[in-house]
Structure 1
Amino acid sequence: MTEQSAPTTRPQSVADLDTAELGGENSILARQRRDHDELDRMMNAYEQAATDGPERDELWRSIVQLVFSHAFAEETVLWPLLRRVSDDGEALTAVVEEEHQAVNELVAKVEEADPADPRRAEWIAEAFALIRQDIRDEEDELLPLLRAALDDRRLRQVGASWDAVRRGAPTRPHPGIPRRPPGNAVLGVPLSGYDRLRDLGARRPGVLAGAALSVTGAALLAARARRSGR
């Protein structure tokens, strides 16, 4: 079995499956759950960290980087595949895409606001609530459909494509980028190198050249992943 129409009954949440049941450590399901667990860990640490120390700033940067690279890879590789293998794929991915867009807009507000703006804490709390809801929707509703429709080998192939795109994806909010291919890759991939420059705080010409190469490589990886998901 490789790909087939997923059943209409709701399968078991991937949160309740062990690694073997997810298709192995390199399966897309295992990779997704590891990212979700890491996001949950960092959000909890952020909420428990002192409000006047540097830890929160570092955690926030790490959360933002993971949220956007993860979501971009989902929208480029996973959700187009889910729409093909499940009759419910269109409706389910539309909900998650709305959640991604809302997080994008909230994080953009936080990034653009003055650090002393009291609304930042409210926006961050709203973003965390949406991220947690998004994780539940994906693990309980969307990812089980991929488990039902794909065999372990195919899940590992999709995982490799997803990881390749994630490593070259944007890491900052860009609310104007479309949520679906090909528009997300056409507009989003060229921004990934610039995002990484900002993440690193780089100012040296050598780093700028490296970022330019990263943009080219990311574009090729995104195109290859879209083809492999067909």
Structure 2
Amino acid sequence: MAHGGNVIDELMADHREVEEMFSRLQAMSGAGQGLRDLIDEVTIELVRHSVAEEQYLYPAVREHVPGGDRMADKEIEDHGRVEKILKRLEKMNTDDAQMSPLAQQLMDEVASHVQDEESNLFPMLQRACTPQQLDDLGDKIRRAKTMAPTRPHPAAPNSPTASKLLAPGAGLVDRARDFVTGRGTS
């Protein structure tokens, strides 16, 4: 699925990319740099995606979808659980016996989140918004992902306002660290 288009198309393209990464992760045997690189790739994509959703998607859900506050709160809680797992994976050696079970926990959490968004949230948002609103949200999501952090920051505030203020700075620092270390380039 190609990136571009409205917010739903954009986020579903992200979901398919992460699913493909998870397939590669499940097929991988052993530890080492290849596993670290793939965990880093998954982390970068999930963090960027989550930050963009928290900045733009969930505020739109709150505004336009009946019961949107409850839905957005649930999705943000899902993100919090995923971010904590990502932080643990980031600190873990690839030969740690807990790496595989923790990676499976991550895949399960993300799969559940994706299923909920695609089955419930996206159809409700599509019915509640005009095509132009969905296109505008897609543009905002794409821009946000370019500025978003690439590493988990579970202690950072997750309100849209705080995220819009803090994420670009954290993203700049993360991308500088990534450049120096070569993270995310394989």
The aligned counterpart of 1:162 is 141
Q: What is the alpha-carbon distance in structure 1 between the residues aligned to residue 180 and residue 108 of structure 2?
A: 29
Q: What is the alpha-carbon distance in structure 1 between the residues aligned to residue 15 and residue 165 of structure 2?
A: 26
The aligned counterpart of 1:107 is 86
Equivalent residues in 2 for 1:79-90, closer than 5 Å: 79-90=58-69
2:96 paired with 1:117: yes
2:26 paired with 1:47: yes
2:134 paired with 1:149: no
Select the structure that is richer in helix: 2
CA contact (8 A) 2:32 2:94 kept: no
Q: Deviations over 1:53-104 (max 9, x none)?
A: 5432222111111100001000001100110111211111111111100011
Q: What is the alpha-carbon distance in structure 1 between the residues aligned to residue 91 and residue 102 of structure 2?
A: 12
The aligned counterpart of 1:188 is 167
Q: What is the alpha-carbon distance in structure 2 between the residues aligned to residue 182 and residue 138 of structure 1?
A: 22
Equivalent residues in 2 for 1:53-68, closer than 5 Å: 54-68=33-47
2:152 paired with 1:173: yes
Query: What residue identity is the alignment partner of 1:125?
Result: Q
Q: What is the alpha-carbon distance in structure 2 between the residues aligned to residue 66 and residue 140 of structure 1?
A: 21
- The higher radius of gyration belongs to 1
Q: How far has the Cα of 1:29 moved from its partner?
A: 0.8
TM-score w.r.t. the length of structure 2 is 0.89
Q: What is the alpha-carbon distance in structure 2 between the residues aligned to residue 176 and residue 189 of structure 1?
A: 16
Q: Aligned pairs, how many?
A: 182
Equivalent residues in 2 for 1:30-41, closer than 5 Å: 30-41=9-20
Partner secondary structure for residue 171 of structure 1: coil
Q: What is the alpha-carbon distance in structure 1 between the residues aligned to residue 147 and residue 98 of structure 2?
A: 32
> Hey, which bits of structure 1, 4+ residues long, moved more than 3 A?
52-55
Q: Percent identity?
A: 23
Q: How far has the Cα of 1:186 moved from its partner?
A: 2.8
Kindly tell me: are residues 176 and 52 of structure 1, through their superposed partners in 2, closer, same or farther at Cα, counting changes over 3 Å? closer
Partner secondary structure for residue 160 of structure 2: coil
Query: Does 1 or 2 have the higher relative contact order (CA < 8 Å, sep 6+)?
Result: 2
Which sections of structure 1, spanning at least 5 residues, go unmatched? 1-17, 204-230
